[in-house]
Structure 1
Amino acid sequence: MTTVVIAGAGPTGLTLACGLARQGVAVRVIDRAAEFPTGSRGKTLNPRSLEVLADLGLGAALAAGGRTHLPFHKYFDGEFVNETEPFAGAVPTATTPYPASLWLPQTRVERLLRERLAGYGVRVETATELADLRQDGAGVEVHLADGGRITAEYLVACDGGRSTVRGLLGIPFVGDGDPEPVMVCGDVEVEGLDPGAWHQWFGPKGAFMLCPFPGTRRWQLQSSPETGADGRPLAPSLEGFQRLAALHTGRADLRLSNATWLSTWRVNVRMAERYREGRVLLAGDCAHVHPTAGGLGMNTGIQDAWNLAWKLGYVLRGLAGPALLDSYQEERLPIAAWTLDVTSAGMAAVMDGAATPGVGVEAGGVGDHTGLALGYRWSGLAVDRLSGPVRAGDRAPDSPCAGPEGAPARLFERFAGDHFTLLGFGPGARAALTGLPGHIRPVPLDDSDGTGGAARRAYGITGDALVLVRPDNHIALTARPDDRAAVFGYLAGLGA
């Protein structure tokens, strides 16, 4: 019996599927494409997404396939100007194990997620197109283009900016966009260029960029489009890419070949008016699309899925009531609105700086693009009974701590999984850590654990206290060390 159908097998749908399958939820992932995409598309995972995917067990595999430090070689009107590196000097800290973004193609991320999902016995069903849906109070019936039907308790639409599901539901996709392409993109091989840097040419003729992918011969090309005699943008082609290279770089020795992905990109700034319609929920590009500045597209979708996965799983496992799903929109829709604002401002900054020597894509870094500072302090799931620098709704910091047997460990290792974690700071919290339900993991934190009070510093705790951490590693509750009732009251409030 299928419990959840996920329409769309990009990073959002795959992250959600892994998060549900890990909880034992029966899930099916369908995708209209006959084959998995081969184009690079998104090319960075920000630090918060790396934390999410590490919790799913993919940290080492991702690190092996990407790179965290990539110099930017910037040129103006064909002449070299300078080299910068946005994450120069970034190193892991006690609270932040991933201080820099990881550069790797989206196809690599999707492949690793599919492999993880297959480990749970779930495989993506390609060439399986959702054509219609029906829902009532008991479930959703998905109608497939080939005449087949799937019955499930919930449907989650992760089917992109042109979402069929969102259209069938009639949910407005509010915003605007440019009807003409503002950029052509592609994956190519390049001869005559140092693969140790992202090369960015700006100037009066527009922009032209070539970004290498480690361990492969591929580069991602992004460029202002060619225009025809009528002034309209031309469709991308290898020949056109070669002409653009000569135009923007002024070099005759650069040779482009083997264009395996050709695409155009248009500015769209849109957001779904709501994220839930009965038993159907929206996530990723289906719920929001925005400019590429800051590389937040794939990351925002992954983090949508991370927020939704534990909530939907808890509802289906009987650990929470259906009303918990309303908190998904409450928490993630404001994040989408923020994302649209900062990426629009970032794109404007890049475009405004295109005529200034030395300005490159990092001009688009308006706001926090690491994802580490984004939280949900406004949420109804955030309850503070203590004051301090770290509050309910915030991302829970990492820290050295003692493991179950007293060996050195880290909080992120204790958080990993689909349970709540109750941190007990000091001896006064010990009694509150006993007799907890099975989905609550107790973690005592004492000054004598050999870490020198690292967790206290990370959380800004000066006395004894309780901190309840959600399965998505955001703080749910802060309370006095003897306020065990607050913990149980919080769990009861989830409506199970």
Structure 2
Amino acid sequence: MNEQCAVDVLICGAGAAGLTLAIDLARRGIRFRLIEKNHQPFHGSRGKGIQPRSQEIFEDLGVLDRLFAMGGVYPTERRYRDDGSTLDADPIEHSAATSAEPYQQPLMVPQFLTEQVLRERLLELGHRAVFGCELTGFEQDADGVTLQLNGRAGPQTLRTRWLVGADGGRSFVRQALNIGFPGKTLGVRALVADVQLSGLSSTYWHRFGEGDPQRQIAICPLAGTQLFQIQGPIALDAEVDLSAEGLTAMVAQRTGRDDIQVHEVSWASAYSMNARLADQYRIGQVFLVGDAAHIHPPTGGQGLNTSVQDAYNLGWKLAAVANGAPEALLDSYEEERRPVAASVLGLSTQLLDNLQRGDVRRGREVHQLDIGYPHSSLAAGRADRAGARAPDARLRGAAGQSLRLFDLYAGPHWTLLCVAGTSADVAPRPGLRIHHVGLQGEVIDDQGQMQHAYGLAAGDRVLVRPDGYIGAIFSSDEGARLEGYLLQVGLPSVISPESSR
């Protein structure tokens, strides 16, 4: 790396995406700086749903139990009819957890609490975001990026190898790169407000005026807080009073009730819904993640989750190249993540159309467990499995202890599972953990769950990426292909002192 670079990565934006990337880089020992132009953390709940795939990511990053303790399940919806009757319904399709998919239900955690947990985790790893520090300009060359920053200590110039724009839908980084952001304004304007109120039970998600844009309003208790979130469509050209008095009046007008009183507004916004996707996710040494690369309508709880997964995809690749992997590895970031965002934008827009017709049901389509990268340049070997999410399974260690595959995957490393019957060993190397699965191995698939989830033959070797996707599956006679793949992703063999004797 060019010696004049003060850090490997400068992350611009300390929201959920920027914090996720920072945590991933911190646990890999990569030099980075995380800056945020705002002087304090975001205190609203624009995003509040953590989908099952993101729960798996947060488990790996060491924060999932904290999020579950802080948040809660989505409440039952209570729909109020014009005749005064109510109908209680659960909009979320419930499925039981399985050994392959241990998380099946969205978790509600207000965004400001999610980001608080992520900041605390980052601090445990020895880092913190720098608030009140704005990126005002940058120039890049083949070796890195020269940045102009303006913070509390005044203007500063900083040199970094890579710049990551995690700075939201109005991204300065994206605009400075002149990257197109095509899409459309969806013709829907809405308000969202986190408030303290009285007159409604915190047991239900209350919905009034379903299917009527003039009267529709939803009031949802925010898990882990004493707050409720008010959501509802508003006229495209309307002046909206977001004060406690103004929101109380709107609630009364739309519900026909005067007993619901808003006492305090913690955060509120009136916004137009958009669906947009950046033309490129990378130019040279500069990358876009999260809302800087794609913005969604809030339906289906996809925006924050897609952003977190962008960061989780990019983090290990930046670290690998920083440690000597081929630069071409970074090309796979846009190759993998941009098609995912395009698909999610379509889903979110369809769910918005459904919501406007009064259909609020959500099922597996929002869980993001079926997202994969089968067409990626990093998917090799068995075409039916390479690029797919790596399932979990319950196993037993040779010492008798219970294990999960996710226990073996947890951390910043690659994992190689060698099924009994493997004829040729793979040499140990930094960044790769090798496990032999079988009665004579250190891991035993005593319930057959791994075999059921992966469909492996004797001698197969499964290479699982640091972000929990199957990179490749090779048979026992494909040792050369496996070694070539490991070299491609920055895991060359190392000649040990013992082998050189």
> 1:120 and 2:106 equivalent?
no
In structure 1, distance between residues paired with 2:412 and 2:490:
18
**SS of match in other structure, 1:396:** coil
Task: Report the more deviating stretch, 431-440 or 126-135.
Answer: 431-440
User: 1:78: how far off?
Assistant: 7.3
Q: Deviations over 1:376-419 (max 9, x none)?
A: 001010012x465xx10000000012347442100001001111
In structure 1, the gaps of 5 or more residues are: none
CA RMSD in angstroms, aligned pairs only: 2.0
User: 1:310: how far off?
Assistant: 0.5
Task: Report the more deviating stretch, 397-406 or 286-295.
Answer: 397-406
User: Aligned pairs, how many?
Assistant: 478
User: 1:82: how far off?
Assistant: 2.2
In structure 2, distance between residues paired with 1:368 and 1:88:
10
- Partner of residue 171, structure 1: 179
User: 1:59: how far off?
Assistant: 1.5
- Partner of residue 162, structure 1: 170
Q: Paired residue for 1:490, among 485, 493, 501? A: 485
Task: Report the more deviating stretch, 14-23 or 213-222.
Answer: 213-222
Contact 1:30 / 1:129 at 8 angstroms: preserved in 2? yes
> 1:243 and 2:237 equivalent?
no
Q: Paired residue for 2:304, among 286, 298, 303? A: 298
Task: Report the more deviating stretch, 12-21 or 33-42.
Answer: 33-42
In structure 1, distance between residues paired with 2:280 and 2:363:
26
- Partner of residue 188, structure 1: 195
In structure 2, distance between residues paired with 1:169 and 1:78:
55
User: 1:260: how far off?
Assistant: 1.1
- Partner of residue 415, structure 1: 409
Contact 1:226 / 1:240 at 8 angstroms: preserved in 2? no
- Partner of residue 137, structure 1: 142
User: 1:81: how far off?
Assistant: 4.1
Contact 1:342 / 1:366 at 8 angstroms: preserved in 2? no
> 1:148 and 2:163 equivalent?
no
> 1:315 and 2:329 equivalent?
no
Task: Report the more deviating stretch, 258-267 or 280-289.
Answer: 258-267
User: 1:485: how far off?
Assistant: 2.3
> 1:35 and 2:40 equivalent?
yes
Contact 2:196 / 2:228 at 8 angstroms: preserved in 1? yes
- Partner of residue 421, structure 2: 428
Aligned residue type for 1:32: K
Q: How does 1:7-406 map to 2 (within 5 A)?
A: 7-77=12-82, 79-87=84-92, 89-145=94-150, 146-177=154-185, 182-201=189-208, 202-204=210-212, 205-225=214-234, 232-318=238-324, 320-351=325-356, 353-354=357-358, 359=359, 361-362=360-361, 365=362, 368-384=365-381, 386=382, 391-403=385-397, 405-406=399-400
In structure 2, distance between residues paired with 1:89 and 1:345:
21
In structure 1, distance between residues paired with 2:204 and 2:373:
36
Contact 1:284 / 1:304 at 8 angstroms: preserved in 2? yes
In structure 2, the gaps of 5 or more residues are: 1-5, 492-501
Inter-CA distance 36–451: structure 2 relative to 1 (3 Å threshold) = same
In structure 2, distance between residues paired with 1:65 and 1:395:
27
Aligned residue type for 2:207: Q
Percentage identity across paired residues of the two chains = 37
Aligned residue type for 1:188: V
TM-score, normalization by structure 1: 0.92
Aligned residue type for 1:192: G
Q: Deviations over 1:9-29 (max 9, x none)?
A: 000000001001110001110
Q: Deviations over 1:109-163 (max 9, x none)?
A: 1011111111121111001011100111111111113421221111100000000
> 1:468 and 2:460 equivalent?
no
Q: Deviations over 1:61-104 (max 9, x none)?
A: 01101113421222344744422224464332101111111001
Aligned residue type for 1:174: P
Inter-CA distance 403–62: structure 2 relative to 1 (3 Å threshold) = farther
In structure 1, distance between residues paired with 2:140 and 2:172:
15
Inter-CA distance 25–193: structure 2 relative to 1 (3 Å threshold) = same
Inter-CA distance 203–275: structure 2 relative to 1 (3 Å threshold) = closer
Q: Deviations over 1:196-227 (max 9, x none)?
A: 12112224333211111233211111122378
In structure 2, distance between residues paired with 1:18 and 1:307:
13
User: 1:458: how far off?
Assistant: 1.2
Aligned residue type for 1:304: D
Task: Report the more deviating stretch, 239-248 or 108-117.
Answer: 239-248
Inter-CA distance 176–88: structure 2 relative to 1 (3 Å threshold) = closer
Inter-CA distance 89–291: structure 2 relative to 1 (3 Å threshold) = closer
Q: Deviations over 1:435-471 (max 9, x none)?
A: 2212111122226836321100011225441111000
**SS of match in other structure, 1:111:** helix
Contact 1:76 / 1:203 at 8 angstroms: preserved in 2? no
In structure 1, distance between residues paired with 2:364 and 2:453:
23
Deviating above 6 A after TM superposition, structure 1's stretches of 4 or more consecutive aligned residues are: none
In structure 2, distance between residues paired with 1:237 and 1:111:
26
In structure 2, distance between residues paired with 1:291 and 1:73:
23
**SS of match in other structure, 2:263:** strand
In structure 1, distance between residues paired with 2:316 and 2:339:
19
In structure 1, distance between residues paired with 2:222 and 2:456:
43
